[in-house]
Structure 1
């Protein structure tokens, strides 16, 4: 933007500014210390505007300058209306994007809840229980309430009364040992595998199928471990092995269902299963691992084997 001249009279400056506007030359009239300065916005129009300014100085009362006022008002009004229409379109566009963005966000949130909600809930509960029980560093009421059977420690001896708590209505004890973890590595290892395997099943088969496999296998693995070594155990690993067993069998027997685990996962988890049996990694709920694995393999292979049996029976 460049100045092309100065006038001492405001009326004349505004009249010339109106005239320039009718010629398609955008500018502005601004009061400064030396008078009313005429500014032109576009450098390409400076030369033409300067010639017109010299003609205006020579004959400022020419009728064309008076007539320009009405035409300039019309141009400014039209520009104002166009500016409002443009702003309305921008606002509508922004609101449209905002609605679509919110809709997308809500849709993703609903999908995440649908495909991952149960798995995430189990992870959150396990972490909360780990904090509440201090990762098993000291016996407390919460930990005792989640064991498959309540225990009493006196004089270094641990006693319990079979599964009488469950028979008297505390049926949650059949599954709640899976939320107990004894050490940060124990917790992280199980949550890692629960996330990977659980989310895969929930996304492909839905939360009801995952819940059925998960809670039934928790009961089987917890009872197996209780039968083998008593009530002092906990962890999600029996469930993890059940989910692994389910996916392993699905991938082997029904690969078209797009469920399965990589061969490397099979090697890792089966290898870990046998390593734990050696006792080299400390006290491990091996019976719970095996019970969960068998339960999961039955869930994964059962429908396939049943269909084959029915076809053979029909033949």
Structure 2
């Protein structure tokens, strides 16, 4: 990382980091006695410097308006239409891959019957994982209804692309696999192997972004409070049984594991020297 600029205004520095991240430039913020130090990846330094100069010259320009879902600042820049080609192209590689895999698996019974679902389900006992270890995560690809898959994929795309945009595809991949494994194991111990869905991972990504932004506010992006409250209220509604049969243990385990990862990674990145 190379130092880009020092800014006295902490809020302005955070907005600068957020703006660079929206454009795929990894940037970090480090407070020092003489101001907020913004550093960027060396391979994008020249591009970042031009953007920085334009931003600091006119920070209230509409070009720099932030994403309304993932910032505490207001925004009026329209998002891509949901099912447009632009919306799909805006997703990162891992987010796209997860979306496509879930849709293909959901449609597979029309061609393959239940064979693929049976192969991807959690095994009847933990002994099965010794032979087929991937089945600790593959239940995340299984969805039981159209509403189930739509709800999960909308949240997956919205949360997943934030991690890919501001951090990396690898970061999203390993967080997804870890939270999937933790949430699936928790649900297996609670109800047995008959479950599926991406919602444990969705809650994992929510927990990750929530706590990452809390412990590392210098990163320049946070989930809106309304998003967190909505998902926590839904978690409670599911637990009290108002939404039917739901994988509650997967939701809670995914959330807690994501929060733990977000806290650890956020603290590490906050303390890491540029």
What TM bracket, shorter-length normalisation?
0.5 to 0.7
Tell me the number of residue pairs that the alignment of Structure 1 and Structure 2 aligns: 185
Question: 1:241: which partner in 2?
Answer: 203
Q: Choose 1 or 2 for highest CA Rg.
A: 1
Bigger relative contact order (CA 8 A; separation at least 6): 2
Cα displacement (A) at 1:165: 1.9
What's the TM-score once normalised by structure 1's chain length?
A: 0.55
Question: 2:103: which partner in 1?
Answer: 127
User: In the TM superposition, what are the counterparts of 1:163-202 in structure 2 within 5 Å?
Assistant: 163-168=126-131, 170-202=132-164
Which residue of 115, 135, 155 corresponds with 1:141?
115
What's the TM-score once normalised by structure 2's chain length?
A: 0.63
Contact 2:211 2:262 in 1 (8 A): yes
Which runs of 5 or more structure 1 residues have no equivalent in the other structure? 1-108, 150-159, 311-315
Which runs of 5 or more structure 2 residues have no equivalent in the other structure? 1-84
SS at match of 2:92: helix
User: In the TM superposition, what are the counterparts of 1:1-315 in structure 2 within 5 Å?
Assistant: 116-133=92-109, 140-149=114-123, 160=124, 162-168=125-131, 170-305=132-267
Distance 1:265 1:120, change over 3 A: same
Contact 2:159 2:205 in 1 (8 A): yes
Cα displacement (A) at 1:115: 6.0
- In 2, the alpha carbon distance for the partners of 1:267 and 1:114 equals 26
CA RMSD of aligned residues (A): 2.5
> Following superposition, which runs of at least 4 residues in structure 1 exceed 3 angstroms of deviation?
112-115, 303-310
Decide which structure has greater helix share: 1
Distance 1:116 1:219, change over 3 A: same
- In 2, the alpha carbon distance for the partners of 1:304 and 1:140 equals 42
- In 2, the alpha carbon distance for the partners of 1:231 and 1:239 equals 17
